Amino acid sequence: MAGSTYNTPSDYIGHHLAFNEVSFGDHPFWTMHVDSVVMAIFLGLVSMGLIWLVARKATAGVPTKTQAFIELLFGFIDDQVKTSFHGDRHAFVAPAALTVFVWVLMMNAMDFLPIDIMATISNQLFHVEHWRNVPTSDINTTFALALGIWFLMIFFTIKVRGFSGWMHELFCSPFGTSVWVWPANFMFNLIEYVSKPLSHSLRLFGNMYAGEVIFLLLGMWAATGVAGTIFGAILGVGWSIFHILIVVLQAFIFMMLTVVYLSMAHEGH
Amino acid sequence: MNINFTLIAQAIAFSTLIWFTVKFVWPPLLNAIEKRQKEISDGLAAAHEGKMSLELAAKKNEETLSEVKQKSTEIIGQAEKRASEIVEEARNNAKSEAERILVGAKAEIAQEVNRAKESLRAQVSVLAVTGAEKILAKEIDKTTHADMLRRLAEEL
């Protein structure tokens, strides 16, 4: 469908929201969104690789401008982690927060790429029909991140308090140690444990997905003629500018929640 | 919006990325920044110390200066005193010397006068005797009146 024309708006939107899938099993689970995975890994390599290149040659003397920029980022993350985590943050939590912030920010920022131009490039140059640029508008990506943090949270809880301590916390808080309130305690904690990764991932996914859909809806103004195209372009610029805020803010919120969840795992309630 | 294998792939990518950051990205940055922080605080401390020692040196300088000033005034005072003493001594010496010379001169003068008197006395007695001889030649015998003449000469 290279250089395709769309018959209906839903056709246009549906085409742009379709993933580049590969299947290697009968069950629908055994499919992979190649675009999400490739974009995510590519962005992760580029951003963290760049920071690594700078960090490798970091000097304590007068820093270069690039190093100063990376240090600014470092200081920002370090300050944020310092306010909510009171332990040896340099061992794991702070670098994890840096990874989360930079990576999510980069993946979110792919929303700024003009969708139809990118679609044309991927069609004409790489001969792929479906290619989505924003990995964080794929629920699998956000859920993978949130679940990763979730497992880390459980890991640190057990590491700090021991398995019995974790069990004690599951059954004996928040209502007390009496056997009669064990089910209620457990239900409470279960809900908390389920809602954490859900809210963590769906917040990011919802924001980025909605942003992408709005770009698509604005793109459809082009179907109404020249005046509509110009109008749509102006609206698109407006939404892009507003989207800068959303992209950074969502990356920041995702990072902060990561830090808070990991801090809660390290400290008692 | 369906969950599939993408989730596992992304989770692997995520954990690898975190491991990479924890292992290779964060430590050198932290190291450089902490080292610089230490260098800056050391520098500030050194500057503070330098300022303190400068103040101390200035204070000491002032103290030494005032001490030297006092000493020099003392020395000048002593010298002045000594000078006036020397002058006084010289004056006294001169005075006593002058007196001594004066006394000597006076004594010499008195001696001289005495000698002159003596010779004058001798000459006058000779003159008187000669005069008397001339007067008395006619009437007095030199030998008979010799005793009286000698007594007269002694009285002069």
Residues in a beta bridge with B54: none
- Cis bond leading into A174, ω under 30°? yes
Q: Which residue of B has its CA nearest to A23?
A: B5
User: Is A33–B6 a contact, with Cβ atoms under 8 angstroms apart?
Assistant: yes
**What residues have CB less than 8 Å from A110, skipping those under 6 apart?**
A39, A43, A133, A134, A135
User: Is B6–A140 a contact, with Cβ atoms under 8 angstroms apart?
Assistant: yes
Confirm if B32 and A62 have CB atoms less than 8 A apart.
no
Of all residues in chain A, what percent carry a pLDDT higher than 70? 97
At residue B144, the 3 state secondary structure works out as coil
Query: Cβ contacts (< 8 Å) between A55 and chain B: which residues?
Result: 24-26, 28-29, 32
Mean residue pLDDT across chain B = 89
Of A268, A247, A5, give the one whose Cα is nearest residue A103.
Answer: A247
The dihedral built from the CA positions of residue B111, B113, B116 and B118, taken in this order, carries a sign that is: negative
Supply the pLDDT for residue B142. Answer: 63
The dihedral built from the CA positions of residue A145, A66, A241 and A19, taken in this order, carries a sign that is: negative
- Give tens-digit pLDDT for B27-85: 999 999 999 999 999 999 999 999 999 999 999 999 999 999 999 999 999 999 999 99
Q: Is A20 noted as a catalytic residue in this protein?
A: no
A123 by Cβ neighbours in 10 Å (0-12 / 13-18 / 19+) ranks as: middle
Of A85, A87, A107, give the one whose Cα is nearest residue A41.
Answer: A107
Confirm if A215 and A201 have CB atoms less than 8 A apart.
no
pLDDT band at B140, cuts 50/70/90?
A: low
Answer yes or no: is pLDDT of A51 > 90.
yes
User: Is A30–B5 a contact, with Cβ atoms under 8 angstroms apart?
Assistant: yes
Catalytic annotation, pick one of A199, A201, A240, A263: A199
Q: Is A207 noted as a catalytic residue in this protein?
A: yes
Supply the pLDDT for residue A4. Answer: 55
Main-chain phi, psi angles of B92, to 5 degrees: -60, -45
Q: What is the 3-state secondary structure (H, E, C) of B74-101?
A: HHHHHHHHHHHHHHHHHHHHHHHHHHHH
Q: Does the predicted TM-score (pTM) go above 0.95?
A: no
At residue A89, the 3 state secondary structure works out as coil
User: Is A55–B3 a contact, with Cβ atoms under 8 angstroms apart?
Assistant: no
Q: Which residue of B has its CA nearest to A67?
A: B29
pLDDT band at B1, cuts 50/70/90?
A: low
Supply the pLDDT for residue A1. Answer: 36
Supply the pLDDT for residue B88. Answer: 95
Query: Cβ contacts (< 8 Å) between A52 and chain B: which residues?
Result: 20, 24-25
Query: Cβ contacts (< 8 Å) between B9 and chain A: which residues?
Result: 32, 37, 144
Q: What is the ipTM of this complex?
A: 0.85
Query: Cβ contacts (< 8 Å) between A94 and chain B: which residues?
Result: 26
Gap between the Cα atoms of A108 and A111, Å rounded? 6
Q: Which residue has the higher pLDDT, B72 or B155?
A: B72
Gap between the Cα atoms of A107 and A205, Å rounded? 11
pLDDT band at A29, cuts 50/70/90?
A: confident
Answer yes or no: is pLDDT of A49 > 90.
yes
Catalytic annotation, pick one of A133, A185, A207, A263: A207
Where does chain A have alpha helices with state H?
Answer: 9-16, 34-56, 65-84, 93-109, 115-124, 139-172, 182-219, 226-266
Q: Which of A140, A141, A150, A204 to mutate to test the interface with B (most CBs of B within 10 A)?
A: A140
Query: Cβ contacts (< 8 Å) between B25 and chain A: which residues?
Result: 48, 51-52, 55, 95, 98
Gap between the Cα atoms of A61 and B39, Å rounded? 9
Q: Does B141 touch chain A (CB under 8 A)?
A: no
- Give tens-digit pLDDT for A190-237: 999 999 999 999 999 999 999 999 998 888 888 888 888 899 899 999
Query: Cβ contacts (< 8 Å) between B32 and chain A: which residues?
Result: 55, 58-60, 63, 67, 71
- Give tens-digit pLDDT for A63-106: 889 999 999 999 999 999 999 898 888 989 999 999 999 999 99
Confirm if A117 and A61 have CB atoms less than 8 A apart.
no
Tokens of B141: 């015998």
**What residues have CB less than 8 Å from A152, skipping those under 6 apart?**
A96, A262, A265
Gap between the Cα atoms of B91 and B106, Å rounded? 22
Gap between the Cα atoms of B135 and B133, Å rounded? 5
Of A97, A110, A101, give the one whose Cα is nearest residue A138.
Answer: A110
Q: Which residue of B has its CA nearest to A150?
A: B11
User: Is A32–B6 a contact, with Cβ atoms under 8 angstroms apart?
Assistant: yes
Q: Does B33 touch chain A (CB under 8 A)?
A: yes
Catalytic annotation, pick one of A84, A161, A203, A240: A203
Supply the pLDDT for residue B139. Answer: 67
pLDDT band at A3, cuts 50/70/90?
A: very low
Q: Is A199 noted as a catalytic residue in this protein?
A: yes
Gap between the Cα atoms of A242 and B51, Å rounded? 53
